[in-house]
Amino acid sequence: MVSTRSASAAARFTSESPPPYETPTPATTAAGKLRSRKTAAGAKTGRSSAAAGGSWSHTPSPLTLLWLTVSLPLVAWDTGYILLRPHSMPGGSLHWPVWHLYELYGRVDGMYGFKQWNLNNGFTAAQGTMNLIESLLYIAYLGLWYRNAQPTGQKLAERVVSGRLGALAALIGFSAAVMTVSKTVLYWLNEGFSGFDNIGHNTLSNLIFLWIIPNGLWLVFPSYMIYEFGADIVRGLDQASGSSVSIKSE
C-alpha cells in the first residue's frame, strides 16, 4: 500500500514538474534574435505609417481668408457687370446703383467701356466667364475646409483639415489661385501686346491708382496663395514618399 502511494506521487510529481532547462544552441539563439528584430521592425513601421498618415494637415492662413473674404464679393460684382452688359453699362436698366462706379472705370479701361463693346470684342466676356469658374472653385475650397476642419483653437483660422478631404481642399485652392494669376497675367499681356490701346490715354496717376494697383492686387495675393497651397501639397507628397521609402527599407 505504501509503495503504491509512493509510485502515484512520483508519477504525479513527474507529470507536473517543468521540463528540464535546455541549453540554447547557436541556431535557436539566432532564430530568436531574428524573430525579435522582425517584431520590432513591424512595430516601428506601424508607428511610422500612423504618424505619417496623421501628421499632414492643411490650414489656410489668416491672410488667405481675409483676401477671399474681400475678393470674392468684388469678383462677383465685376463678373455681373461684364456678363450683363449692355444693361449694366451707363444708360442701361441695371446700371444704377449697383454698377454706377463702372462709368468711371469704363473710361479708364476701354475693355470695360463702350469702345470694345461696340467693336464686339469678346475677350472681356471670356474673362468674366473664367471669373465665374474661378469663384466657384474658391467657394468649393472654403466649403471643404470649413465643413470638415477640426478646431484647434478659438480663432477661425485655427481650423485644421487633414486626410483626403484636406488634400482635395488644398488642391482646389491651389488650382483656383493658379487660374487667377494666369488670367490676370494674360489680361496684362493682352494690353501690352495691343500697344496699350485701352489704357494708354490715362494720366500716370490715374493709371497707377485706377488700373495698376487695383489689378495688381490680383497678382500679389493669389501668388502668395499659390506658394502657401503649393508648400502644403509638396509637404504632403514629401511625407508620403518618405514613409513609403521607410517601409520598403524595413
The pLDDT tens digits for 137-151 are 999 999 999 999 887
The pLDDT tens digits for 153-182 are 667 667 899 899 999 999 999 999 999 999
Distance CA 110, CA 107 (A): 6
| Domain-embedded: residue 37 | no
Of the chain, the percentage scoring pLDDT greater than 70 comes to 73
One-letter amino acid identity for 216?
G
- What domain range includes position 196? 55-73+130-249
Position 1 pLDDT exceeds 50: no
| Domain-embedded: residue 170 | yes
| Domain-embedded: residue 39 | no
| Domain-embedded: residue 24 | no
| Domain-embedded: residue 160 | yes
| Domain-embedded: residue 86 | no
pTM of the full structure: 0.74
| Domain-embedded: residue 23 | no
The pLDDT tens digits for 73-106 are 999 999 999 999 999 999 999 999 999 999 999 9
| Domain-embedded: residue 155 | yes
Position 248 pLDDT exceeds 60: no
User: DSSP letter string over 152-167?
Assistant: SSSSGGGEEEEHHHHH
3-state helix, strand, coil in the chain (%, to 5): 75, 5, 25
Beta strands in the chain (DSSP E): 57-58, 150-151, 159-162
Position 218 pLDDT exceeds 80: yes
The residues with which 162 forms a beta bridge, in sequence order, are: 57
Structural domains of the chain, count: 1
Q: Which cell goes with 115?
A: 469702345
Residue 153 backbone zone (phi > 0: left; psi -120 to 50: alpha; other: beta): beta
